[in-house]
Amino acid sequence: MSTTDGDMGVVVRTSARATIPLIGIFGAYIVAHGHLTPGGGFQGGATIAGAGILFLLAFGLEEMKRHFNKNLYSALEGIGGLAFLGAAMLGISVAFFYNTLWHNGPFFNGNPGTLLSAGYLPIMNLAVGLKVFTGLVSAMAGLALYRRWRG
Amino acid sequence: MIEQVFFYAALVVMVAGFISVLRVILGPSVPDRVVGVDTLNTIVVAAMILLGAAYDREIYIDIAIVYALLSYVGTLAIARYLQGGLS
């Protein structure tokens, strides 16, 4: 069994403190550069959810219960889906999923290959990343909190 | 321009990977297999970096970084399970 109640040793906890921001920042990089490099919303969101899984593994269930807010994560998942739908609805005067930000929009219309280009794609990547991250962390927390086998 | 020497290095690394797969298959106990999988993770990261250099695509390095970070989480999950699970 572990040293104290519910968490792993001091090496794992300290390295998790160093690694969780690294995984989070790298996942945010994957999400934000979804239209330029490999990856995108789902891959970046799953990477950030890996940081959540590392938090649960390193710090234990009690610490996870203290930091996990079910209502907040559920609301953020809904907001991610609604932001995707809202970005798809922006050019509804021409067609559904019409990329009006790219054709005649005020922003996200830079040169192809730069960060602020590709119209609604960065918004959709952020929305999908938020949805995947909150959904996976909620599913993992639900499974971890499901039932105790003994005691 | 594809550098041939990186393909040979990746081939050597893949031979090491097959040897660690042999340990995963043959390992008599579960920790043997976990160590084999952990070794295989590191070898796969090295192979990804070498193939990224061989194909001259620097964006392939991103996938190697993600794999290195998440394989650590996977090994930690198995270690936590073998240690007695959550709390």
pLDDT above 50 (res A2): no
- Which chain A residue lies closest to B76 (C-alpha atoms)? A57
Q: Which of A21, A36, A31 is nearest to A131 (CA)?
A: A31
* CA–CA dist B42, B26 (Å, integer): 19
Picking from A3, A138, A121, A139, the residue whose alpha carbon sits closest to that of residue A58 is: A3
Residue in A closest to B83 by C-alpha: A1
Measured between beta carbons, the chain A residues lying within 8 angstroms of B60 are 38
Say what the ipTM of the complex is.
0.80
Most A CBs within 10 Å, among B75, B76, B78, to test the A interface? B76
Q: What is the 3-state secondary structure (H, E, C) of chain A?
A: CCCCCCCCCHHHHHHHHHHHHHHHHHHHHHHHCCCCCCCCHHHHHHHHHHHHHHHHHHHHHHHHHHHCCHHHHHHHHHHHHHHHHHHHCCCCCCCCCCCHHHHHCCCCCCCECECCCCCCHHHHHHHHHHHHHHHHHHHHHHHHCCCCCCC
* Dihedral angle over CA of A19, A25, A27, A29, nearest 10: -150
Determine the number of helices (DSSP H) and then strands (DSSP E) in chain B. Answer: 3, 0
- In eight-state DSSP terms, residue B39 is H
- For chain B, residues with pLDDT lower than 50 are none
Q: Find all residues with CB under 8 Å of A52, minimum gap 6, and list them.
A: A133, A136, A137, A140
Interface test with A, best of B48, B59, B63, B69 (most A CBs within 10 A): B69
- pLDDT for res A1: 43
Partner-chain contact A39 B65, CB within 8 Å = no
pLDDT of residue B42: 93
- Among A48, A53, A143, the strongest candidate for a mutation testing the B interface, having the largest count of B CBs within 10 A, is A53
> What is the pLDDT of chain A when averaged over all its residues?
84
Q: Which residues pair with A112 in a beta bridge?
A: A114
Taking the CA atoms of B32, B34, B40 and B43 in sequence, report the sign of the dihedral they define.
negative
pLDDT of A100 reads 75
- The confidence score (pLDDT) of residue A93 equals 78
Cβ contact A69:A141 at 8 Å: no
Residue A60 in contact with partner chain B when CB distance is under 8 A: yes
| Predicted confidence (pLDDT) per residue in A33-90, tens digit | 888 888 888 999 999 999 999 998 888 888 888 888 889 999 999 999 999 998 888 8
In the predicted model, is pLDDT for residue A96 greater than 90? no
CB < 8 Å to B73, chain A: 50, 53-54, 57
β-partners of residue A114 are: A112
Token pair, residue A72, equals 């907040």
- Contact A144/B86, CB-based, under 8 Å? yes
Q: Is A37 near chain B, with CB under 8 Å?
A: yes
Please report the pLDDT score of residue A3 as a whole number: 47
Non-local (6+) Cβ contacts of B55 within 8 A are B2
Alpha-carbon distance of A80 to A132, in angstroms, equals 9
Mean pLDDT along residues A122-134? 91
